[in-house]
Amino acid sequence: MEGLLGIGELARASGLPVSALRFYDGAGVLVPAAVDARTGYRRYRPDQVRSARLVARLRRVGMPLDAVRALLAGCDPGPVLDAHLARLEGGLADARRELSAVRSLLDRTENPMELTLDARALGAAIDAVRYAVGRDPGHPALHGVLLEPDGTALHAVATDRYRLATAAAVLAVPADGTGGRVLLPVGLVDAARELLRRSGGTATVTVAGDAVEIAAGGQVLRGTAAPAGDYPDWRRFAPAPARHEVTLDVPAFRAAVQAGPSVPKVREDGVAYRTVVLVLGPDGGLTVGGAGDGVRVGVNRDFLLDALPGSGQLVLGLDGPIAPLAIRPPGGTDWSLLMPVNLHDAAAPA
């Protein structure tokens, strides 16, 4: 056993305590080169110092024993390390969401949020985004409308991952920064829309813990907020000025989308729909159809019709076939995004 290191020497050289080296021997991760049959004393080869240091680093970042064992056995390290890094990043994202939810709950409990604004303006903001509320049972955090105050405005937000819509209403009293955000479940959203639609004057939204009150027209609607911790940070998706922006008359554009050709598609969740192709020609003119040269963007036809306002004008922002389609009123701050559709595997227009 000449030239071998005792377990204490390996512990000092690697930074692993003797108890950990005994554990990793029993787990088959770092097996000694020799064990004294009488005393049970473990001895290690000098080249096992590197392995022990590697084990110490991997375990400090929470690498599972099976993965450590595979790396020491000489497997391709790239996929193993990448997979563990993805797990760590996912865990960190989960922790951030949970702490955000905790912070929001603490803020609302200690500092109840009370917002005052025009009832019809609040109703219009909620109406403008209602179409984008998610319904996928696999994503319950999207089953509602997010209300988030920001200075002088209250933002209403909804998304189902395929589209995202925002609209703002001016606050009568600027937000003081003590409140957070609240997610209204879809049942409470629709009840609030009915209340606000028939009310005039001022509306008040009060949030304390998960209790929500919406008062307007002498009536009070009470409900329970949904957890908002998993709701995406919608501000990260705010569209920058697009390379191509086209101002359109809403009624004429709606008629063109309804009458224009479309192609059948099936979404990843098995839902069938039809796609329209918007083509921005070299002359800056926009057509609905599959022919013509220029910038081409495919979008879900029904989603596009849902996102169009009832009248007036809108601005379409087009950055190409793989960028979301941005929709906003001229000079306005509200906006919607529609995810593009892959056109390469589409059927012929009908």
| Sequence ranges of the domains in the chain | 5-75, 108-234, 239-338
- Both tokens assigned to 51: 């392995």
Statement: the pTM of the whole predicted model exceeds 0.85: no
Domain 239-338 belongs in CATH node 3.40.190.10: no
User: What gap in Å lies between CA 200 and CA 198, rounded to an integer?
Assistant: 7
Average pLDDT, the chain: 87
**DSSP output for 95-145:** HHHHHHHHHHHHHHHHS-EEEEEEHHHHHHHHHHHGGG----TT-GGGSEE
Mean pLDDT of 26-48: 90
* Burial environment of residue 29 by CB neighbours within 10 A (0 to 12, 13 to 18, 19 or more): buried
Q: What is the pLDDT of residue 1?
A: 56
Please give the Cα distance from 126 to 166 (Å, whole number).
9
pLDDT tens for 116-133 read: 999 999 999 999 999 999
Could you please report the per-residue DSSP string of 200-226?
-SEEEEEEETTEEEEEETTEEEEEEPB
CATH class of the domain comprising 5-75? mainly alpha
pLDDT 10s digits, 123-171? 999 999 999 999 888 888 899 999 999 888 999 999 999 999 999 999 9
Q: What's the CATH number of domain 108-234, 3.30.420.10, 3.40.720.10, 3.10.150.10, 1.10.268.10?
A: 3.10.150.10
Domains 5-75 and 239-338 share a fold: no
pLDDT in tens, 290-330: 666 788 899 999 999 999 988 899 999 998 888 899 999 99
